[in-house]
A and B are shown apart, each in its own frame.
Chain A
Amino acid sequence: MAVDVRAGVVRRAWDTDLAYSFRNSPVAVISAIVTLVLILGSLFAPWVAPHNPFDLSTISLIDAFDPPQWIEGGSPDFPLGTDEQGRDVLSAILFGGRISLGVGLFSTIFAVVLGVTAGLIAGWRGGVIDAFIMRVADVQLSFPAILVALLIDGIVRSTLPHDEQDQIAMLVLVGSIGLSGWVQFARLVRGSTLVERNKEYVQAARVIGVHPIRIVVTHVLPNVLTPVLVVATIYFAFAIITEATLSFLGVGVPPTEPSLGTLIRVGNGYLFSGEWWITVFPAVTLAALVLSVNLLGDWVRDALNPRLQ
Chain B
Amino acid sequence: MADAVLRLNDVRRLFDVSAPWLARILSGTGPRMLKAVDGVTFEIARGETFALVGESGCGKSTVARLVVGLYEPSSGSIEIDGTDIASLKTRKAQAPVRRRVQMVFQDPYASLNPRWRVKDIIAEPIRTHGLIRGEAAIRARVDELLRQVSLTPADGDKYPHAFSGGQRQRISIARALASEPEFLVLDEPTSALDVSVQAQILNLMKDLQRRLGLTYLFISHNLAVIYHVSDKVGVMYLGRLVEVAAKADLFARPQHPYTRLLLDTVPDLAMTGRERVAVRGEVPNPIDPPSGCAFHPRCPFANERCKTERPSLLAAGGNMVACHAVQEGRLPPWGGAA
**Interface residue B49 (Cβ < 8 Å from any Cβ of A):** no
Contact A204 B98, CB 8 Å, known A209-B128, A219-B113, A222-B115? no
Contact partner, B112, options A201, A209, A210, Cβ 8 Å: A201
Chain A's nearest CB lies how many Å from the CB of B214? Answer: 16
**Interface residue A139 (Cβ < 8 Å from any Cβ of B):** no
Interface-central residue, A205, A208, A211, by most chain B CB under 10 Å: A208
Contact A209 B91, CB 8 Å, known A203-B70, A204-B103, A204-B175? yes
- Which residues of chain B are near A210, meaning CB under 8 Å? 124, 128
Contact partner, A203, options B105, B124, B125, Cβ 8 Å: B105
CB of A200 within 8 A of CB of B111, answer yes
Name the residue on A nearest B101 (C-beta): A207
- Which residues of chain A are near B68, meaning CB under 8 Å? 207
Give Cα A204–Cα B68 distance, bound, in whole angstroms.
10
Give Cα A206–Cα B91 distance, bound, in whole angstroms.
11
Give Cα A211–Cα B124 distance, bound, in whole angstroms.
12
- Which residues of chain B are near A204, meaning CB under 8 Å? 103, 105, 111-112, 172, 175
**Interface residue A199 (Cβ < 8 Å from any Cβ of B):** yes
CB of A207 within 8 A of CB of B69, answer yes
Knowing that A205-B124, A208-B125, A209-B129 touch, tell me 4 more A-B residue pairs with CB under 8 angstroms: A204-B111, A204-B112, A209-B91, A209-B99
- Which residues of chain B are near A200, meaning CB under 8 Å? 105-107, 110-111
Give Cα A255–Cα B175 distance, bound, in whole angstroms.
61
Name the residue on A nearest B106 (C-beta): A200
Name the residue on A nearest B65 (C-beta): A203
- Which residues of chain B are near A211, meaning CB under 8 Å? 91
Contact A223 B113, CB 8 Å, known A204-B175, A207-B103, A209-B95? yes
- Which residues of chain A are near B103, meaning CB under 8 Å? 204, 207
Give Cα A147–Cα B298 distance, bound, in whole angstroms.
65
- Which residues of chain A are near B106, meaning CB under 8 Å? 200
7 closest cross-chain pairs (CB), A and B: A200-B111, A200-B105, A200-B110, A201-B113, A222-B115, A208-B125, A207-B68
- Which residues of chain A are near B107, meaning CB under 8 Å? 200
Chain B's nearest CB lies how many Å from the CB of A103? Answer: 32
Chain A's nearest CB lies how many Å from the CB of B91? Answer: 7
Chain A's nearest CB lies how many Å from the CB of B287? Answer: 21
CB of B110 within 8 A of CB of A208, answer no
Give Cα A204–Cα B103 distance, bound, in whole angstroms.
7
Give Cα A142–Cα B101 distance, bound, in whole angstroms.
49
Chain A's nearest CB lies how many Å from the CB of B336? Answer: 44
- Which residues of chain A are near B77, meaning CB under 8 Å? none
Q: Can you list 25 A-B pairs with a CB-CB distance of less than 8 A?
A: A199-B110, A199-B111, A200-B106, A200-B110, A200-B111, A201-B110, A201-B111, A201-B113, A203-B105, A204-B172, A204-B175, A207-B68, A207-B70, A207-B101, A207-B102, A207-B103, A208-B124, A208-B128, A209-B91, A209-B94, A209-B128, A209-B129, A210-B124, A222-B115, A223-B114
**Interface residue B179 (Cβ < 8 Å from any Cβ of A):** yes
Which residues of A in the span 188-226 have a Cβ within 8 Å of any Cβ on B? Answer: 199-201, 203-211, 219, 222-223
Which residues of B in the span 112-129 have a Cβ within 8 Å of any Cβ on A? Answer: 112-115, 124-125, 128-129
- Which residues of chain B are near A208, meaning CB under 8 Å? 98, 102, 124-125, 128, 175, 179
- Which residues of chain B are near A209, meaning CB under 8 Å? 91, 94-95, 98-99, 125, 128-129
CB of A207 within 8 A of CB of B98, answer yes
- Which residues of chain A are near B110, meaning CB under 8 Å? 199-201
Give Cα A204–Cα B94 distance, bound, in whole angstroms.
16
Chain B's nearest CB lies how many Å from the CB of A164? Answer: 45
Name the residue on B nearest A210 (C-beta): B128
Name the residue on A nearest B99 (C-beta): A209
